[in-house]
Structure 1
Amino acid sequence: MCSQNHLNLVLVNNVPLFFNIRDGPYMPTLRLLHKYPTIMKKLQVDRGAIKFVLAGANIMCPGLTSPGGALDDEVEAETPVAIMAEGKQHALAIGFTKMSAKDIKKINKGIGVDNMHYLNDGLWKGIDLVAGGKTKKSKRTAPKSDDIYLKLLVKLYRFLVRRTDSNFNKVILKRLFMSKVNKPPLSLSRLIRFMKGKDGKVAVVVGTVTDDIRVYEVPAMKVTALKFTETARARIEKAGGECLTFDQLALRAPLGQNTVLLRGPKNAREAVKHFGPPPGVPHSHSKPYVRSKGRKFERARGRRNSRGHRV
């Protein structure tokens, strides 16, 4: 495995065990060194140098010769060494000495050890940095809401995801984490349209089911949702249907069998209509932010030459 920094890795079962940089000697990774701590000679830095070493900085001579540091007189120049920290049991970095231990004590200035590999780099976790290993995922791993009932549902579906192979449960768990904008309401009319021809199946909505007064006839449906408006619940139950909660669904369909997973229209918000290229430019369909509606307020701009320009 190689990278732009001329880094070569030796992997065993996708675990990095040895590395070399720019055709230098192969050295053990910290993962291997923590398991076999006696395979390398050790140097110790004082407490003040720890944060710099973990940031990738080279080890300066004063950090090794200070009262908290420690040097092995047998260490020669250009020797791979484990960098220990004062008061710590395991190595926090692996380096390459620029000079011998005796010269470090004698000169006591400048760089004593080149920092080749440290705990906070991607190599420690077995990440290929060229492939974007340091780009942290920003997706949610828990809901931001303090709703205790939502947290109980998350606990339930975490268990189902862990103990089953069902992709349905994974999607439900992910949607339970989502923000309000990403859990849009689903109207009764859309629900009826989506469930047409799907008799015997349970509609599942991670969001709110709302009433639609434009619908006169409601068929018998089984619907699971986080919330129902009062009129939507009344109309579904009056038609002989059922309004289920997610804990009830988990008992009936722990793997999501005979369910239809639905979502509300996420991009139907007023705010989304204004997104996109600026209003008025060719082929733009973005809605302008208009102060008022009237004869003198952006009337027909972009539709004819007499009003500024024509698209």
Structure 2
Amino acid sequence: MAGSGPEACPVAGRVRRAPPVNQPLLGQQAVQALGIRLRDLRRDAGLTGRELATSCGWVPSKVSKIELGKQVPSEDDIRDWCVACQFPSEISDLVAAVRSIDAQYMDWRRSLKTGTRRRQRANIDAYEKTRLIRAWEPTVIPGLLQTAPYARGILTTVIDFHGIPDDIEEGVQARLEAQRVLGRAHRRFLFLLGEAALYTAVGDREAMTEQLRRLLDVTRAPRLSLGIVPLAAPYTVPRNNAFTIYDSRMVTVATYTAELTLRQRHEVTIYEKAFDRLMALAVRGEEARRLVGQALNDQGEI
């Protein structure tokens, strides 16, 4: 379900209220990282937490909550903090970080409230704006490579799991329409799959067989690279989170409750590093086709 997330839209003349901290794990890590950056500014200024709180007119506990990632500071909090620590040059960057935390979550309940088709259309918009797509999927086949029966199996599970309106045929059609981007000139696609994705049973055996044959065709497609990370590959990078990198401008990461859209350069860089490590573990070409062939054999088709 990867795609572009919501943009930050602060209302002129109003202070953006801090988002709640009951966010997915990856979001909590972003909040904690912001708290560490603010703590370092305070320490560089030679201030205790109590001294900073007094300077800003806060209760002392507020400083510790922010530094420990238990409270997201507002934009005004950031400005007061930087001025008190005599680092006004850091204000714009830290305010951008707060806005990113607030903007990077697309709650699935909002995104899918009318069904799956609208979300698939958002994916098409993101793909059309991108020249290089790098995607990692540990357990299923990416949407851009799915056959209709396989996509139907994936989206049926999404509809059932989230309890959203059943627009399965519209959703499948929109997902297949998105695949037209694969034929666009001046675009490149690097797909990495975990070997487990070849065996995750989506739909019936006929659907899996058709999907695996589609992967064999993909390994020979122009401007498209398919790599498979074997189950026996050494553990040199965490592999649990599926993600998609759009050029080098943003990354989308799906969780059970929301889709994260990460745009800060240091965040994108981390995912590029993860992709590079996964790429180093992957097999391609004839070896990748051999793994797909083994999976087909297990389906009783070879």
TM-score range, shorter chain: under 0.3
Larger Rg computed on CA atoms: 1
Bigger RCO (CA 8 Å, 6+ sep):
2
In terms of fraction of residues, the more strand-rich structure is 1
* TM-score computed with the length of structure 2 as normaliser: 0.22
* TM-score computed with the length of structure 1 as normaliser: 0.21
In terms of fraction of residues, the more helix-rich structure is 2
